[in-house]
Structure 1
Amino acid sequence: MKLKSRLIMANASTVIIPMVITVLIALAAFFIFGKLLGSGISFEHQQRKSMLKLELMNETENWKRTPEILVEESYQKYLLNKLADINSELLLLKDNKVEFSSRNFSKIEVAKILDAGKISGSREMVTIDDLSYSVVDIDLKYNEGSQGRVFLLTPVDSWDTSFTGLLIFVSLSFLISFILTNIIVSFQFSRSILTPLHTLQNAAAEIAKGNLDYSIVEEGDEEIQALCRDLELMRIKLKDSVHTQLKYEDNRKLLVSSISHDLKTPVTSIKGYVEGILDGIADNPQKMERYLKTISLKAYQMDQMIDDLLLYAKLDLNQIPFDFERLDIEEYLKSCVSEYEPELERNNIKILFDNEMPQKQHVLVDRARMKRVIMNILDNSCKYMSPGQGLITIFLRDTAGSVIVELRDNGSGIAEGDLPHIFDRFYRADASRSKGSGLGLAIAKQIIEGHNGRVWAVSHGKEGTSIMISLSKS
């Protein structure tokens, strides 16, 4: 349920429920009072009584216009019947003498009635025979000039008092039910909001402590559930961010460890050969030349490792722009391989081309950067092949929108579990594959992705490994 709908229902409930309860209580009270006090207090009886009183009060207008009607015997009988129906009394005076009365009033009772009706037109109370009456005093003027007064006495019965008490009781019932309903509805409404908010507060406290495994459960109204979902997504992203940060921290430590280890070997060699020269161990030109060539080679290796590290860092930060050219992929690969042939010949490794494309295909590449990719892959293949029997085959295939370049070697292969990680920086599958800085394939992946391409590896078990490159056609 939406929070807005719940709020509307809560506000409506605080009014509707007390009204329904009050109506039920009022009906029950009318029924109970009617049963306990008899038919005299029933609604039907009181309605009839009120109608008769109203009819009699309307007759008073006729009395004022034609007071002579009151002395007619037939009309007096009519009045007596009406008065009897509502337990009322009537006293008619003409020139201060009793002309007609519904009962025999004593002089004291007449005096009480006159005293109650001193103010013409007023309604006062008078008690006769332990019964209370409301007195209506009406002045009359006869045609012959005589003055008269008529006093209409209507009983004040228990219904009026009971009805007043009933109204007070019903009003109190509405007030109490309204207060109780507001308390209950407010409690339920606030609990539906505060409970999930309390859960979110606990989750926020746990996350603040660093417990990113504390999941946030969706509960409450739709808006609060949406908030829970967003916070849960935030927690997951934060957890992934922390995990990535920790991974980067591990990579940084691995970088320091790997670079320190890889640099230490050539530095140690350079230091040893320099000390040998200084100590006079290289005591002839041939040995001196060999020492210097070794120092130069180790210095080159160090320079290469530092270049790899700087290149990867720049690629990772997207600080190196690409200069794309539209090139024939086959001719370009052959030119790259031709530059690497001396290294292949030195390691007795053969290289073959297998072009399965039906026609020439062109791709957009950065000539220098893509050459680095091919060199890194070939160099990586050469490192892990047995001398004298190495073979690298380059397959060219095409699909509807891309060109596939496969560089397959016949080396020792890569375990299936290591394939997804060989393009990670500084990753080494095992101790036997610890040559180099561990950045060659990571640099290759960064460059290929900069070309909007893909690179992946396929293991052929002990028969070697294939590095697959996919580039879009141009």
Structure 2
Amino acid sequence: MFEKYSLKKQFILTFILILISSILSMVFISVIAFFILSSPWIYPANYYEKQMPRIEKYVKENNTKLLDVSFKKNLEKIIPLSGIEYKVVNFKTDTNYGNLEYSICEKNDLIDKINTSILNKNEVLKFIPIIDDKFNINGVIIFKYILKVQPISKYKTIFFLGSIVYLISPFLFIIIYSIIFGKKFSKNINIPLKQLIDASNKIKNYDLDFKLNYSYNNELGKLIQAFESMRCELKETLTKQWVAEKEKRDIVSSLSHDLRTPLTIIKGHVEMLKEGFYKDERRLKKYLDIIETSTNRAVLLVEDLNVLSKFENPKFKLNIRKTNVLDFIKEKLEEYKLLAEKNGILLSIITENIDNNTIFYMDKLRICQVIDNILINSFRYTNNKDSICIKISLVKNKLKFIISDTGKGFSEEDLKYAFRKFYKGDKSRSKDIGSYGLGLYIAKTIVEKHGGKIRIYNDKGATVEFFIVMREKL
């Protein structure tokens, strides 16, 4: 009801609502009480006063008969004893009877009070003389009644209880409405608090896959938003930590697996040499070549891991230097020209918007590493009489590279996972020197540190396309 308001405003509105509801209920009860007081079983305040003329008439008609105690029953049939008390005083015999407790004073005092009414607050005392036939005052009858609203005798208990309830009803209504609206106010607070408690328990049990939602921007809403932000940050941090731990396990697992093969080969051939095969020069050279090849594989793996460790270090910085793009391209062409000729592969380079004076600021060594990783893969999966083309273009502050070959191209699995650490799509790669599933991952890391992006796709064969952004000049 008031959830969207601040807690202070909710409390004030709840308090006001309690007061208004209590006042309206009191008005309703008062209306009911008015109708009850107007009902036939409730006597008005002057009810017994209206009975007095009839009683006085009876007294005058019977006069001295009233002095006889035996006449008491007849008299009490006339007097409504539920609201009128009386006492008959006989001056001749000094006797009296009746249900009124009244201290009898001197006879002369009573005579002075004859035919008078004494009003004390709402209590009335009336003195009526008892006169004989000779007009002598033989006694007096005293009546006492109260001027107030009264119920019929049989409803007195109900009326009494109702009066008490009416008097305490304001407090009752305040208590009742405090419970009702207090419960609602408490619910408004408990709903978000329960969310926070449940969320705390989930976090304690390492469960971060939930979302806190509270649509009102009050104090509790801000608290939940802060808690949700904390959960997101915690999940992101822990996810990174869990991923990092998994990567560490993957690295150890992959390292142990990939090192086992070359080390097993080295161990096997060393044992054969120790058994005497070193005496055969032809076998000795063959075994030493195999040992050298396996050793190179192990060294390359360790070097790749060292490079990877450097790149993933937050403190790693690129060594940005001024680079002549055309000279850089010619150097790379010379490095791979002989390898291309040896394998019968046509290697070509195409440039756009690049001339002898084109300068670009980048980490030349790391970009060489990217190109080397891509070209080595191209040479590995490109057959004799195929071709490899390197296209380099400069657009504004971006240097773009497209390296494509006419080989067998990427598989569907390669296109999805090629940039993952230790991914080896083609199982035959594990037999090739330097293929440990780190090449494209390292290339991606270097390109991104240069502010660029890299992607792979199939055209006539495999194509790797990436660009780097001009870094800050020195």
TM-score (structure 2 length as normaliser) = 0.68
Shift of 1:272: 3.5
- Which residue pairs with 1:2 in the alignment? 5
Correspondence list, 1:42-81, <5 A: none
Q: Contact conserved, 1:394 with 1:408, CA < 8 A, in 2?
A: yes
Which shifted more, 412-421 or 31-40? 31-40
Shift of 1:243: 4.8
Correspondence list, 1:252-291, <5 A: 252-283=248-279, 288-291=284-287
Distance in 1, matches of 2:354 and 2:316, equals 35
One-letter identity of the residue aligned with 1:157 = L
Shift of 1:26: 2.2
Distance in 2, matches of 1:362 and 1:314, equals 27
- Which residue pairs with 2:34 in the alignment? 30
Q: Contact conserved, 2:320 with 2:362, CA < 8 A, in 1?
A: yes
One-letter identity of the residue aligned with 1:425 = K
Q: Contact conserved, 2:340 with 2:346, CA < 8 A, in 1?
A: yes
Shift of 1:393: 0.8
CA offset digits 1:155-186 (Å, max 9, x no partner) = 96225999x99986543110110110111111
2:126 pairs with 1:128: yes
- Find the residue that maps to 1:282 and give its secondary structure: helix
- Which residue pairs with 1:414 in the alignment? 410
Shift of 1:123: 7.9
Shift of 1:404: 1.2
- Which residue pairs with 1:442 in the alignment? 441
- Which residue pairs with 2:366 in the alignment? 369
- Find the residue that maps to 1:468 and give its secondary structure: strand
Distance in 1, matches of 2:258 and 2:342, equals 23
CA offset digits 1:281-305 (Å, max 9, x no partner) = 2335565445434433332222121
Q: Contact conserved, 1:414 with 1:465, CA < 8 A, in 2?
A: yes
- Find the residue that maps to 2:389 and give its secondary structure: strand
Distance in 2, matches of 1:296 and 1:218, equals 66
- Which residue pairs with 1:157 in the alignment? 147
One-letter identity of the residue aligned with 1:302 = A
Distance in 2, matches of 1:273 and 1:165, equals 111
One-letter identity of the residue aligned with 1:28 = I
CA offset digits 1:434-460 (Å, max 9, x no partner) = 441111111112222222222222223
Q: Contact conserved, 1:196 with 1:220, CA < 8 A, in 2?
A: no
One-letter identity of the residue aligned with 1:29 = A
Distance in 2, matches of 1:357 and 1:214, equals 52
Shift of 1:219: 6.8
Distance in 2, matches of 1:7 and 1:126, equals 53
2:379 pairs with 1:382: yes
Correspondence list, 1:57-456, <5 A: 108=110, 110-111=112-113, 127-128=125-126, 157-158=147-148, 170-216=166-212, 218=214, 222-232=218-228, 234-235=230-231, 238-239=234-235, 241-283=237-279, 288-357=284-353, 361-386=358-383, 388-434=384-430, 435=432, 436-456=435-455
Structure with the largest fraction of helix: 1
Shift of 1:316: 0.6
Distance in 2, matches of 1:442 and 1:429, equals 13
One-letter identity of the residue aligned with 1:182 = S
- CA RMSD, aligned part only? 3.9
TM-score (structure 1 length as normaliser) = 0.68
> What is the aligned-residue identity percentage?
26
C-alpha distance 299-343 of structure 1, shift in aligned 2 (>3 A): farther
CA offset digits 1:294-343 (Å, max 9, x no partner) = 43333222212101101101211134332101223332133133224344
For structure 1, which runs of at least 5 residues remain unmatched after alignment? 43-105, 131-154
Q: Contact conserved, 1:33 with 1:41, CA < 8 A, in 2?
A: no
Distance in 1, matches of 2:402 and 2:111, equals 130
- Find the residue that maps to 1:330 and give its secondary structure: helix
C-alpha distance 270-244 of structure 1, shift in aligned 2 (>3 A): same
C-alpha distance 457-225 of structure 1, shift in aligned 2 (>3 A): same
Shift of 1:425: 1.0
CA offset digits 1:112-132 (Å, max 9, x no partner) = 899989xxxx989651159xx
- Find the residue that maps to 1:158 and give its secondary structure: coil
Distance in 1, matches of 2:271 and 2:277, equals 9
Which shifted more, 351-360 or 13-22? 351-360
- Find the residue that maps to 1:192 and give its secondary structure: helix
Distance in 2, matches of 1:258 and 1:469, equals 28
